[in-house]
Amino acid sequence: MTDSQKIDAFIAKQTKWKGKLQQLRAVFQKTELKEEVKWGKPTYTLDGKLVAAMADFKNHMALWFHQGVFLKDKHKKLINAQEGVTKALRQWRFEEEDEIDSALVLEYINEAIANSKAGKELKKSPKKPVEIPSLLKEALKDDKQLSETFSALSPSCQREYAEYIAEAKQEKTKLSRLEKCIPMIKDKKGLHDKYKNC
C-alpha cells in the first residue's frame, strides 16, 4: 500500500473529521510537498524534512507545523500544544464548527515551505546527563542484574525512571515508586512503554 493509499484509508475511516481532512489534503496537494505517513498520520515533507502534518483528536483536529515557531502567524492561528515541552512545533486547531479557509491555510503552508528551504530549523538542545537519585543509586549498587539492565536502557528511559522517583515529595513515595520500577527495569521496559505506539 502506498503512502497515498494509506492516507485515503485514514481519511475514509474518519467519521467526524473526514470533510476537513479532505479539504486540508487538497490544499497540501497544491504544493510541492511529498505526502507520507508518519506515526500513522498524513505528513508532508520537503527533501526528507518534516514540514507539516494533520492529526485527528476527539474534540478537534489539527494542522501541525514542525518548525512552526518560525511562522509569522499574522492571523494568530497557531498554538504551542505543550508549553515548555515543544520548542519548534506549532498547531492550528479546528473544531467541528470551524470553517477551513483554504487560501489562508495555503499561505501558512507556503511560508513553512519557504522557511524549510531557507534552512530555518530549531535544533534540539543536547540533553543534560541523567541525574540518578540516591535511592535508585543504592538499588543499582546492591543489585547487579538491575544495574546491568538499567545501563542497557536508552538515556531517555533512564531519565524517565530517575525523574519519576526523584520528583516524589515524601521518602515513602520515593520508596514505593522505586519498588514499582525495579521489576519494570529488569524486564527492560521503559516507564511509559504501555502508552507508546511501538
pTM of the model: 0.64
CATH 3.90.1150.200 residue window(s) in the chain: 3-117
Partners of residue 49 on adjacent β-strands? 46
Q: What is the pLDDT of residue 195?
A: 54
Does CATH place domain 3-117 in 3.90.1150.200? yes
C-alpha cell at 5: 493509499
Q: What is the DSSP string of 120-164?
A: ---PPPPPPPP---HHHHHHHHH-HHHHHHHHHS-HHHHHHHHHH
Q: Is residue 69's pLDDT more than 80?
A: yes
Q: What is the pLDDT of residues 76-122, one digit of tens each?
A: 999 997 777 778 999 999 999 999 999 999 999 999 999 999 999 98
Q: What is the pLDDT of residue 82?
A: 75
Is residue 135 within 8 Å of 165, Cβ to Cβ?
Answer: yes
Mapped onto helix, strand or coil, the DSSP state of residue 116 is helix
- Side chain identity at 38, as an amino acid letter? K
Q: What is the pLDDT of residue 131?
A: 87
- Side chain identity at 61, as an amino acid letter? M
Q: What is the pLDDT of residues 130-185, one digit of tens each?
A: 889 999 999 999 999 999 999 998 888 898 899 999 998 999 999 999 999 999 99
